[in-house]
Structure 1
Amino acid sequence: MDDLVQSALAEYDRVVAAVSGYRARPGQREMVCSVARAFATADLRTNEQTPSSDAENPVPPPARRIEVISAGTGVGKSLAYVVPGVHIARARGVPLVVSTATTSLQGQLVEKDLPALSAAMERPITFAIAKGRNRYLCLSKALRLAGDGPTADLALDHEDDDVSAPTAETAGRPAKAAANESRIEFVRVLQDKLDQGWDGDRDTLLEPPPADLWAQISAEQTTCTARGCPQFRDCAYYKARDRLRAVDVIVANHSLVLAAVGTKILPPLDEALWVFDEGHHLPQTAVDQFAAEVDLTALRWIDRLPRIIDKVAAGLDHTTARPATQPAHELKAALSDVGRLLFDLYSSALSKGNTYRFKGNQLPEFALEPLRLANAQAIALLSIMDELVTVIRERIRDRPEHKALWSTLFALLGAHVPRLRAVIETTDLLLDEEVTATTARWLSATPSVRGVAIKLHACPVLPGPLLSRELWDATRAAVVTSATLTTCGSFNWFLEEAGLDQDIAVQTQAVASPFDYQRQGEVVVVRTDASPRQRANFQSEVSTRLAHDLLSVKAGALCLFTSKQHMVNTYEQLPDGLRDRVLVQGSRARASLLASHRSQVEAGDPSILFGLQSFGEGLDLPGRLCEYVFIAKLPFSTPTDPVGEARADYVESRGGSAFDEIVVPEAGVRLLQWTGRGIRTESDEATIVIYDKRLTQTQFGQRILGGLPPYPVRQQPSAFGAT
C-alpha cells in the first residue's frame, strides 16, 4: 500500500502546484499523509479474501483504520481529505463519502471546494449530494392525491388528527373539503413544475412547500414498492440514487448516514471510504437520531387502521389470519388511558415547563401494564400488515400488469407503519429495565389544534455505545476531523462521546494551525469585581464594561453571550451612538445581518455583531470583519433538558462529577469555537476579550485555557480598559 500512499501524495503536490497563488502548508501535508495511510491500508469488503475454512491457516480479520484528526483553523481540511480520498477511492473502485453536520459546509463543498479541486486535478471529480427519500416527490402519491390514474378511487385516507386552519380562499367551507382542495391544488402546481423541468427535489423549488402538504406526497421507504411502482422510471428519488452510484464523491450529512445504515441510500459502511467533517457533532446527532416518542392524545389514526387493513385485504381478495379491530381498539385504549392518568398526576409539574422527567427514569407503576399492552397490540397490528405486505409483493411478482393497484395498496398500509413503529420503539425503551440508568424518560405537554398534545419520550443518554454499534463496528476506513475534536487539550472527551475510546482501529492526530497566534492574537481576561455566581451584579458589570470597550472598535467585532436576556439588556443599555453600530442576532435573518455587517465594515464604519451560540460556531469573518471577539461569560451549559439531566444523574450515580466530566469539557469545546472566530487567515489579527476571571483563577478554568491555541494571555482589572 506504500505505492498508493505515495501516488496520493504526488497527486496532492500536483494540485497544490496547479492552484495559482496557493502556498503549501506543512500541517495540511501532514494531514494528507494520515488520510492516505488510513484509506490505503484498511481492508474493504469489496476486495477482501473469502474466509478460509482451514483452521490451521485462517484468514486474519479485516484491517480497519479510523483516523481522528483535530485540524486547527487554516489547515485546509477539505483539500487534505478530498485529494487523497478521491485518488485512493478511484484506485480501489469505491466511492468517497464526505459527511458534514451543517448545510453550510455541504454548500461550501459542492459549490466551492469540490469544483475548485476538480479543476486542479488531472481527472475531474464527479460529485453529488445525497439526501433522504423525503426530500423527493413521490409521483404515485401525487397522482393519487390529485385524483389521476387508475387507482384514484383508492386514494389515501388523508383525514388527520389535526386539521389545518382554512385559508382565505377556503374559509367558509367544511374544513375537510377545504383541506382536500388545497392538497389537490398544491399537487397541480407541482405537476406543472414537473412539466417545466423540475427534478422532483424539494430543495430546488424556489419557494419551500408547506411541510404538512409535502409530507403527504414525499417519498417514504414504507410506502415504496420500488420497481413494482408504475412510476418507477420517472421516480425522482431513484434517479438521484442512480446518480450517486456514478460519482467519485458523495456528500451527505451525519443524520442521513446514521439513518441510512442498512439501507441502499448510501454505500455499505465497509464498501466505501468515509470522511466525517465537523465530526464533533456526531455524538449529539446520534442522541437525536435514536430518540423516540409516542403521542398519547392524537390517536384517531388508530381508529382508521382496521378500515384500511380491510380495504387492502379486499383489494387483494385475501383474508387475514387475525382481524385488526380488537388489537386496534386495545392499542388506542391503552395509550389513551396512560395519557390521561399521567397528565392528571403531573399536570402541575407540566404547567411549569411543558416537560416532566420521571425521577430515576422510572415510570409510575400504573403506567407499565398499559404500555406493555400497547407494545403487544402494536406488534400484532404490524404483524397483520406484514402478512398483507407479503401478499402484495407476491402479486407484484406474479401479476405485474396490475402494479398500479398493488403499489396503491402497499402505500395505504405503509403510511401507518411509522406510527406503529414509533409506538413499539418508544415503549421498548420505556419498559426495558436494563437500560433505565442510561435512558432519559419524560412526559411533555404542548398546545395543539385540538387542545394539549401529551407525549411520552425516551432517549439513550450515552452516544458512544450507539455510534460504536450503529456506525463504527461495520466501518473499515474512516477519517473523523474537525477543528474542535480536542477539549481541554485532550482527545479523551471526544473519543468517549463518539464511541471510539475502546476501538483499536483508532489513531489520533493533532495538526497545528498555520497561524502564528503569539503574533496575531491576544486573550485578555477581565477580572470583574462581581462573580458570575452573582448573576445580576455580574451581568450589570459586564454590560457596563462592554459599553466602554466597544468604543475601541474601529472595524468589525463579534460579541458573544450565553444568555439572550443578557444580550438584549446589554444592547438596550448602550448609548444611542454606540447602539447604532450593533447588529443583534434575531432582529432579522442571519444572512441579512452578515451582509449589513460586511457592507458597513467595507464602507469604513465600525460594525458589531451581538450573538449567541450559533454565532460562535461556523461564522467566517476574516480580516477587518472581526478584529475583536468579546465573550461575556465562559460558555457553561448546565443540563436542564431531560436528556442532559439524566446524563448528569448517571455520571453522579457512578461516583463521578457531572461538572468535571460533562460541563467543563463541553465549555472547553465551545470556548475553542468562540475564540476561533477571531483569526481566520494568516494575515488576520484579533483581540479576544473574556469577561470571566474563572478562566485564570480556577482549576477548571486553567483546564479550559490549556485547550486554546497558544495566544498570549493578559489579565486586566475591571476598572481598566481591556482594549
Structure 2
Amino acid sequence: MREIFAWNGVLASQLEYFEARSGQLSMAEAVADLLRDDSEDISLQSARVLVIEAETGIGKSLAYLIPAILSGRKIVVSTATLNLQDQILNKEIPLIEKVLGQQVPVLCVKGRQNYLCHYRWFQYRATMRMSLLDDPEGDKIEKWLEDTATGDRSELAWLPDRSALWPKISAQSSQCLGSDCPESAFCFINQLRKKAGSMRLLIVNHHLFFSDLALRSSGFGEVLPRYEGVIFDEAHHIENVATQFFGRTFSQFQLLDLFADLERQAELDLDPAAVDALRKAVQGLSQRLDHFLRLFPQERGRYHLDALVERISDAVWRSEIDQLSLSLKRLQAQIAPYDGHGEGWGNFDKRIVELMENLQHIALPAETGAARYVHWYERRERAITLSATPVEIAGHLRDNLYGAVRFCVMTSATLSSGGSFDYVKDRLGLDDQAEYLRLYSPFDYRNRSLIYVPESSFPEPTARQYPEKTSERVLDILRISRGRALLLFTSLKAMDLVADFLDGRLNYPVLVQGRASRQNLLDTFRHTTDSVLLAVASFWEGVDVAGESLSCVIIDKLPFEVPSDPVLQARIRTISDNGGNAFFDLQVPRAILSLRQGVGRLMRSATDRGVIAILDVRLFSKGYGRTFLKSLPPAPVVRSLQELSRFFGDEGRVV
C-alpha cells in the first residue's frame, strides 16, 4: 500500500494534484491486512470486523477500494447514497484502473424497482392499446427498449422522479413470476445476476444489501451472488436501514397496488363477466379497508399501536382485524380458479398470503409471539402504514451478517461519540474481537475555522423566547458572514420561522428547502457565492460544497430525536429495563453523530475556511455538553459576535 499511497508512490506519479495523507495510507494498510488474512480457523460465526472512522479529507473510498481490488476476493461495497455510488463508479474506478493499469471487474447492482420488467411492460402496453388512448411516455420507453442493455430507469433522464408509469412496469419483487415468467430469457434482472456472478467487486446500496440479507435469513432465496466480504461506507446508517428489513409492514399502498395489478391482469386474461365479478370482490375489500382505516386518528405522525387499541378496545380491534383478514381470504378464494389463465395469478395468491401474515404479525403481537418488536403506525398525507420493528438489531446482525461473511469493514466520517466507539459497538452487536481505527481529518481546523456558541444569557431551546432570539441571532451572523451560509434545522417549523423572519431583512438570496428540488437548490447555492440555504433532514449530510459559497454552517440546536417516536421509546425502555442510562447510552450518542454530520458540511477541502455556529447554550450549561464539545473538530470556540467579525475581516470576507 505504501508504494501506492506514499508521497512518492504510484498515485503521486499519476495525479498532478495528489497529496499524500498518512491517514489514507493507514486506512489502506488496515483494510489490506484484514483481507489478506488466510487463517484456516476463521469460523462462519466470527467474521473479522474492522471499524474505521475516517474524518473528512482522508480519502477513504480509495483507501478501501484499492486494497479490496488487489485482494482478489469477491467484495460487496455498500453505500447509503446514490451520490457516493456515482462517485465510486464514475470517478474512483476509472482512476484506479489508470493507476493499477488494469481493468476492474466491477458492477453496480441497484434495487429491482430500478429496472423495467418485460412481462409487466407488455401487459401495460396491451392494456393501453385496448383502451385506444395516446401514450407518449410509453412510446418513448418502447423506443428506449430497442437500445438499452440494462433496463435501468436512470437512463431515462426525461422520466419524472414520481412517475405514475414506472411503478406499473418496473421489476417489483412482489410481482415477479420468477422462473415461470414467459419473458425470463430477456429479463434484465436475470441478466444482471448472471453478470454479477462473474464480478469481483459489486457496488450496492444499504437497502439492497439488507433486503438480500433478510431474504437469505428467511430461506426464500437471495438477491446478490455469494461474496467473501462487505465494506460499508456511510456505515452510520447501518442500524436504521437494517431495522427496516428485519421488521414487517402492512400498508394501504400495498393493497392499492394489489388492486391495480389484479384489475390490469383480469382485463388481459378474463372474460367480461369474470372481470366484473373480480372488481366486485376488490371493491368489497376496498370498502373493508376504508372502514378499517377510519379507526386511525387524523393526526399525522408515528404512534404506538397499543395506545390506539386501548382507546378503541381490544374487542373492536380484534373484530376489525378478523374482518379485514376474512376479506383478504375471500379475495384469495375469488382468484383461485384463475390460476390456469396466466402466469401472474399464482403470484397474486402469494401476495395476499404475505399481506395476511404481516397484518396478523403486526396487529396481534400477543398471538404471534412478537415481543421483541415495537408495534406502531404512521399516518402520512395520503396513506397509513402499520409496522413491527425490531427493538434491537444487534442480534440480527450477529446471526445473519457476521456469521455469513469472512470480512466486514465499516467506515464513515462519524462513528464515534465523545471519542469512544462504545455506542456503535453496542448497537451493531460487535464482539470484543472487532478492531477499531480512528483517523482524524488532515484539515487545519485550528487555524482555518471557529466554533461559535452564543453567550450564557442566550435562551435554551426550551425557553419561550428562544425562537425569536434564534431568528435575530441568525440574521446577525449572516450579516457578518455576508451570506455564504448553510443553515441546518432540526424541524420544518423552525426552518420556516427563520425563513419568514429573514424575508425582507437580508440582502442576499435566500434558498429554502421545499421551494425547489434538492439538486436545484444546491446548484444555485454553489454558484451564487453570497446565497443562504435553509434546510432540514437530508441536507445534514451528503452536501459537498467546497469554496467560499459555504463559509458558515449555522445549526439551530442539538439534534436530539423526537422523544415521542415509538421505536425510540421502545429502545429507551429496553435500555432502562436492563439497568442502563438510555439518555447517555442512546440519545446523546445518536445526537452527536447527527451533529457531527452537520458540522462536517463546512470543511470540504484543505483550502476551505469558515465558522460553525451552534445556537444551543446547552453545550456549556449542561453536563452532557462536554461530550458534544469533545466530539467536535479541534477549532477554537468563541462566544461573541465580535470574534466572528474579526475572523471574517472588516469587509465580511474570508481572509
Tell me whether 1:249 sits opposite 2:245 in the alignment: no
Tell me whether 1:431 sits opposite 2:431 in the alignment: no
Matches within 5 A, 1:338-349: 340=291, 343-344=294-295
Tell me whether 1:281 sits opposite 2:252 in the alignment: no
Cα gap change, 1:294 to 1:273, in 2 (>3 Å): closer
Q: CA RMSD in A?
A: 4.3
Alpha carbons 1:75, 1:513 under 8 Å: kept = yes
Could you tell me which residue of structure 2 aligns to residue 440 of structure 1?
A: 374
Looking at structure 1, the residues matched to 222 and 114 of structure 2 have their Cα atoms a distance apart, in angstroms, of 16
Tell me whether 1:679 sits opposite 2:603 in the alignment: yes
Alpha carbons 1:11, 1:121 under 8 Å: kept = no
Looking at structure 1, the residues matched to 5 and 555 of structure 2 have their Cα atoms a distance apart, in angstroms, of 41
Deviation at 1:189, TM superposition (A): 4.1
Could you tell me which residue of structure 2 aligns to residue 85 of structure 1?
A: 68
Could you tell me which residue of structure 2 aligns to residue 41 of structure 1?
A: 37
Alpha carbons 1:438, 1:650 under 8 Å: kept = no
Could you tell me which residue of structure 1 aligns to residue 440 of structure 2?
A: 512
Q: Secondary structure at the match of 2:594?
A: helix
Could you tell me which residue of structure 2 aligns to residue 693 of structure 1?
A: 617
Alpha carbons 2:544, 2:604 under 8 Å: kept = yes
Could you tell me which residue of structure 1 aligns to residue 419 of structure 2?
A: 489
Alpha carbons 1:557, 1:607 under 8 Å: kept = yes
Cα gap change, 1:78 to 1:359, in 2 (>3 Å): same
Could you tell me which residue of structure 2 aligns to residue 644 of structure 1?
A: 568
Looking at structure 2, the residues matched to 633 and 699 of structure 1 have their Cα atoms a distance apart, in angstroms, of 16
Cα gap change, 1:445 to 1:221, in 2 (>3 Å): closer
> What is the letter of the counterpart of residue 685 of structure 1?
R
- Which 10-residue stretch deviates more, 635-644 or 64-73? 635-644
Deviation at 1:694, TM superposition (A): 1.0
Deviation at 1:670, TM superposition (A): 1.5
TM-score of the pair, normalised by structure 2 = 0.83
Return the match for 2:550 from 612, 626, 633. Answer: 626
Could you tell me which residue of structure 1 aligns to residue 225 of structure 2?
A: 267
Q: Secondary structure at the match of 1:195?
A: coil
> What is the letter of the counterpart of residue 440 of structure 1?
V
Could you tell me which residue of structure 2 aligns to residue 135 of structure 1?
A: 114
Matches within 5 A, 1:324-403: 340=291, 343-344=294-295, 350-353=297-300, 356-359=303-306, 364-366=313-315, 367-368=317-318, 371=321
> What is the letter of the counterpart of residue 34 of structure 1?
A
Summarize deviations over 1:407-459 as a string: whole Å, max 9, x none. x83322214533431331342244344866542223455666xxxx6654322
Q: Secondary structure at the match of 1:677?
A: coil
Could you tell me which residue of structure 1 aligns to residue 125 of structure 2?
A: 146
Q: Secondary structure at the match of 1:293?
A: strand
Unaligned runs of 5+ in 2: 272-276, 648-655
Looking at structure 2, the residues matched to 200 and 483 of structure 1 have their Cα atoms a distance apart, in angstroms, of 34
Cα gap change, 1:35 to 1:233, in 2 (>3 Å): same
Looking at structure 2, the residues matched to 719 and 61 of structure 1 have their Cα atoms a distance apart, in angstroms, of 57
Deviation at 1:38, TM superposition (A): 1.5
Cα gap change, 1:530 to 1:132, in 2 (>3 Å): same
Could you tell me which residue of structure 1 aligns to residue 457 of structure 2?
A: 529
Tell me whether 1:598 sits opposite 2:581 in the alignment: no
Could you tell me which residue of structure 2 aligns to residue 395 of structure 1?
A: none
Alpha carbons 1:716, 1:722 under 8 Å: kept = no
Could you tell me which residue of structure 2 aligns to residue 31 of structure 1?
A: 27
> What is the letter of the counterpart of residue 20 of structure 1?
E
Cα gap change, 1:420 to 1:715, in 2 (>3 Å): same
Looking at structure 2, the residues matched to 128 and 572 of structure 1 have their Cα atoms a distance apart, in angstroms, of 47
Return the match for 2:141 from 190, 205, 217. Answer: 190
Cα gap change, 1:532 to 1:309, in 2 (>3 Å): same
Alpha carbons 2:5, 2:12 under 8 Å: kept = no
> What is the letter of the counterpart of residue 87 of structure 1?
L
Unaligned runs of 5+ in 1: 50-58, 148-154, 156-176, 316-324, 390-405
Alpha carbons 1:222, 1:411 under 8 Å: kept = no
Looking at structure 1, the residues matched to 404 and 58 of structure 2 have their Cα atoms a distance apart, in angstroms, of 30
Tell me whether 1:409 sits opposite 2:367 in the alignment: no
Return the match for 2:399 from 453, 464, 469. Answer: 469
TM-score of the pair, normalised by structure 1 = 0.75
Deviation at 1:494, TM superposition (A): 1.7
- Which 10-residue stretch deviates more, 470-479 or 350-359? 350-359
Deviation at 1:586, TM superposition (A): 2.4
Q: Secondary structure at the match of 2:165?
A: helix
Summarize deviations over 1:479-515 as a string: whole Å, max 9, x none. 1100001122211112222232xx3442111112212
Could you tell me which residue of structure 1 aligns to residue 630 of structure 2?
A: 706
Could you tell me which residue of structure 2 aligns to residue 216 of structure 1?
A: 168
Looking at structure 1, the residues matched to 116 and 8 of structure 2 have their Cα atoms a distance apart, in angstroms, of 40
Cα gap change, 1:142 to 1:572, in 2 (>3 Å): closer
Q: Secondary structure at the match of 1:625?
A: coil
State the identity as a percent. Answer: 27
Deviation at 1:711, TM superposition (A): 1.9
Cα gap change, 1:571 to 1:432, in 2 (>3 Å): closer
> What is the letter of the counterpart of residue 442 of structure 1?
W
Q: Secondary structure at the match of 1:294?
A: strand
Q: Secondary structure at the match of 2:429?
A: coil
Looking at structure 2, the residues matched to 542 and 234 of structure 1 have their Cα atoms a distance apart, in angstroms, of 59
Looking at structure 2, the residues matched to 307 and 112 of structure 1 have their Cα atoms a distance apart, in angstroms, of 45
Cα gap change, 1:9 to 1:568, in 2 (>3 Å): closer
Could you tell me which residue of structure 2 aligns to residue 200 of structure 1?
A: 151
- Which 10-residue stretch deviates more, 106-115 or 360-369? 360-369
Return the match for 1:571 from 499, 506, 523. Answer: 499
Cα gap change, 1:283 to 1:32, in 2 (>3 Å): same
Q: Secondary structure at the match of 2:250?
A: strand
- Which 10-residue stretch deviates more, 178-187 or 691-700? 178-187
> What is the letter of the counterpart of residue 24 of structure 2?
Q
Looking at structure 2, the residues matched to 74 and 234 of structure 1 have their Cα atoms a distance apart, in angstroms, of 44
Deviation at 1:678, TM superposition (A): 1.5
Alpha carbons 2:44, 2:404 under 8 Å: kept = no
> What is the letter of the counterpart of residue 477 of structure 1?
F
Cα gap change, 1:244 to 1:706, in 2 (>3 Å): same
Looking at structure 2, the residues matched to 296 and 595 of structure 1 have their Cα atoms a distance apart, in angstroms, of 36
Alpha carbons 2:51, 2:435 under 8 Å: kept = yes
Summarize deviations over 1:263-303 as a string: whole Å, max 9, x none. 443122xx333110000011111222344333579969999
> What is the letter of the counterpart of residue 513 of structure 1?
S
> What is the letter of the counterpart of residue 437 of structure 2?
Q
Looking at structure 2, the residues matched to 520 and 138 of structure 1 have their Cα atoms a distance apart, in angstroms, of 52
Return the match for 2:585 from 648, 661, 664. Answer: 661
Q: Which has the larger radius of gyration?
A: 1
Alpha carbons 1:9, 1:33 under 8 Å: kept = no
Could you tell me which residue of structure 2 aligns to residue 581 of structure 1?
A: 509
> What is the letter of the counterpart of residue 36 of structure 2?
A
Could you tell me which residue of structure 2 aligns to residue 111 of structure 1?
A: 90
Tell me whether 1:19 sits opposite 2:19 in the alignment: no
Looking at structure 1, the residues matched to 309 and 267 of structure 2 have their Cα atoms a distance apart, in angstroms, of 41
- Which 10-residue stretch deviates more, 642-651 or 95-104? 642-651
